[in-house]
């Protein structure tokens, strides 16, 4: 997963401007100017948008895999004799019966893992950006007060 995150540009261990903004101490935040707050908020919003675009690509890949699997296993499910079997169990059995469907399911599962791991990030980054914007407004009020 960490290799995937690096491949799409999420850095991980290397310090970046985004990482620095997310780990600001109260003292460092207090020293930031209004412009620094605005730039930080913009950077966090841009990162959120980038990660959301990566999530959209992952979702698209998952949807494609699911559609392909459904096409492959439809005839298998139709021919299954155990009519009183749970639908999810029928689906799993049908996927296991076809090598291509099984490989596609593996791709789907891996992609879903990446998607799950990253899905909270855009909202979290936008929340942090909003907080920096509000802090910028507070600083603006202090300068005029």
User: Which range of residues forms the domain containing residue 88?
Assistant: 34-144
Asked whether residue 17 is domain-assigned, the answer is no
Asked whether residue 14 is domain-assigned, the answer is no
Asked whether residue 5 is domain-assigned, the answer is no
DSSP three-state, residue 145: coil
Asked whether residue 21 is domain-assigned, the answer is no
Would you call 1 exposed, middle or buried from its count of C-beta atoms within 10 A (0-12, 13-18, 19+)?
exposed
* pLDDT, tens digit (0-9, with 9 covering 90-100), for 73-109: 999 988 876 667 788 888 999 999 999 999 999 999 9
Radius of gyration, CA atoms only, the chain: 23
Q: How many domains does the chain have?
A: 1
Asked whether residue 89 is domain-assigned, the answer is yes
* Residue closest to 136 by CA, chosen among 45, 36, 47, 46: 36
Task: Please state the rounded mean pLDDT for residues 27-39.
Answer: 92
pLDDT value at residue 78: 84
Rounded Cα gap, residues 13 and 15, in angstroms: 6
Asked whether residue 82 is domain-assigned, the answer is yes
pLDDT value at residue 13: 37
Which tokens in the block code for residue 20?
């620095």
């Amino acid at each position: 997963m960490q290799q995937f995150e690096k491949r799409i540009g999420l850095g991980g261990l290397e310090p970046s401007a985004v990482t620095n903004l997310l780990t600001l101490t109260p003292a460092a935040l207090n020293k930031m100017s209004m412009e620094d707050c605005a730039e930080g908020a913009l950077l966090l919003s841009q990162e959120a948008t980038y990660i959301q675009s990566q999530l959209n690509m992952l979702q698209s890949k998952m949807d494609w895999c699911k559609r392909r699997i459904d096409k492959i296993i439809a005839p298998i499910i139709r021919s299954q004799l155990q009519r009183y079997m749970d639908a999810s169990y029928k689906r799993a059995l049908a996927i296991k019966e076809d090598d291509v469907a099984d490989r596609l399911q593996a791709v789907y599962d891996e992609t879903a893992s990446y998607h799950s791991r990253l899905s909270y990030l855009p909202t979290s980054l936008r929340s942090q950006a909003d907080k920096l914007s509000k802090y910028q407004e507070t600083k603006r009020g202090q300068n005029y007060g």
